[in-house]
Copies of this chain bind each other. A is one copy, B any other.
């Protein structure tokens, strides 16, 4: 299958019928945009994946319950940035319900059709009067050009906004997929990313859409790690709304869905707190894809590997050591390793290599690490970033 998708400008409002807005409501002390809204067309189906942490924010419970109860029917997502509303007890859930009810009233929807995502400091409740006062201007700002403003308003410590849109001709009609995401610390999602929203203007049955989204998330957001810390608020919501797509195009649609998700996931990893480069780890030759992905993610998440890349130090021993503790069986004597084009190991043993050239290669962005662990059919990829002194500074002084 030729890849039919090509990039177009915009993000979540690139697909037809979706409206979005992002404004400064005053939730953040910095005065940066902090409240966003996405409105999907009538008939939209929504698939969500959420943090696997036992400690999860009230907004995550609310989203998961509403999507479960409705079989994936939802029309809007409100996102507040600045306060995570996690570990806020009963008040957390009450505030989430009040916020979605107030947004639903202004949109002419039932509260159950509105979802909410929160991001920011854990344990801090949402300043509700500020949020509620922001809803009228937020709804007034909804527009088919609002995707970029929404993508800005969901950020916290991110340095750059993250959005993308792809377009394809499927069965003689134009289909568009758009997405936005935020996240740069506490990034080690499991079944979801920090916050991500995806839109698609082709109609797909809810259960088909849910399966597609789950697979795309496994190959994207679940394959990144910044610091090994899974968040309390990780949420990915994907909306599909429009004329029904013929099943013969589902495979092509899923390819687009995966491409958008991978773009956003890599953008999160590249924007990891203090990061200076994206690291891509490719693992081949494992017994199965699951094992390969686990090895890739362990290497990508190793503090020692991340520090070595940051220092442009081709310390390949740390890569193999990290692979060895991934909990996946392979033959250490079969390992081969490349940094970009530079092969550093074969048959489990170090090769003589040009250390200066390999070190110079580590100044690239992205840095590609390729590890062959045997002759099995399993392969997998993970994305992460280097670990810099800047990461420590950002996270040593977050709330103070």
Residues of A within 8 A of B (CB): 52-56, 84, 86-89, 121-124, 185-186, 188, 190, 227-232, 301-304, 307-308, 310-318, 320-326, 328-330, 332-333, 335, 345, 347-350, 355, 359, 387-400
| A230 and B307 in contact, given A55-B320, A389-B389 (Cβ under 8 angstroms) | no
Contact A86 B396 (CB under 8 A): no
CB distance from A351 to the nearest CB of B (A): 10
Given the complex of chains A and B, what is the CA–CA distance between A299 and B347 in angstroms? 37
Contacts A55-B324, A229-B322, A307-B394 supplied; 20 other A-B pairs, CB < 8 Å: A54-B329, A54-B330, A55-B320, A87-B317, A87-B320, A122-B321, A123-B320, A227-B304, A229-B318, A229-B321, A230-B324, A232-B324, A307-B395, A308-B396, A308-B399, A310-B396, A311-B397, A311-B400, A359-B400, A387-B392
CB distance from A384 to the nearest CB of B (A): 12
Specify which of B123, B230, B307, B355 is in contact with A396 (CB 8 Å cutoff). B307
Q: Which residue of B lies closest to A54 (CB)?
A: B324
| Residues of B close to A391: CB separation below 8 A | 303, 307, 392
| Residues of B close to A230: CB separation below 8 A | 321, 324-325
Q: How many copies does the complex hold?
A: 2
Choose among A301, A349, A395 the residue with the greatest number of B CB atoms under 10 Å from its CB: A395
Contact A122 B86 (CB under 8 A): no
| Residues of B close to A315: CB separation below 8 A | 121-122, 398-399
Given the complex of chains A and B, what is the CA–CA distance between A393 and B389 in angstroms? 7
Contact B320 A399 (CB under 8 A): no
Contact B186 A304 (CB under 8 A): yes
Contact A228 B52 (CB under 8 A): no
Q: List 8 A-B contacts (CB under 8 A).
A: A53-B324, A56-B324, A122-B320, A124-B317, A228-B303, A229-B304, A229-B325, A389-B390
CB distance from A331 to the nearest CB of B (A): 9
| Residues of B close to A347: CB separation below 8 A | 89
| Residues of B close to A323: CB separation below 8 A | 54-55
Given the complex of chains A and B, what is the CA–CA distance between A346 and B93 in angstroms? 18
| Residues of B close to A310: CB separation below 8 A | 392, 396
Contact A54 B332 (CB under 8 A): yes
Given the complex of chains A and B, what is the CA–CA distance between A396 and B305 in angstroms? 9
Contact B399 A303 (CB under 8 A): no
| Residues of B close to A393: CB separation below 8 A | 389
Specify which of B121, B190, B228, B317 is in contact with A123 (CB 8 Å cutoff). B317
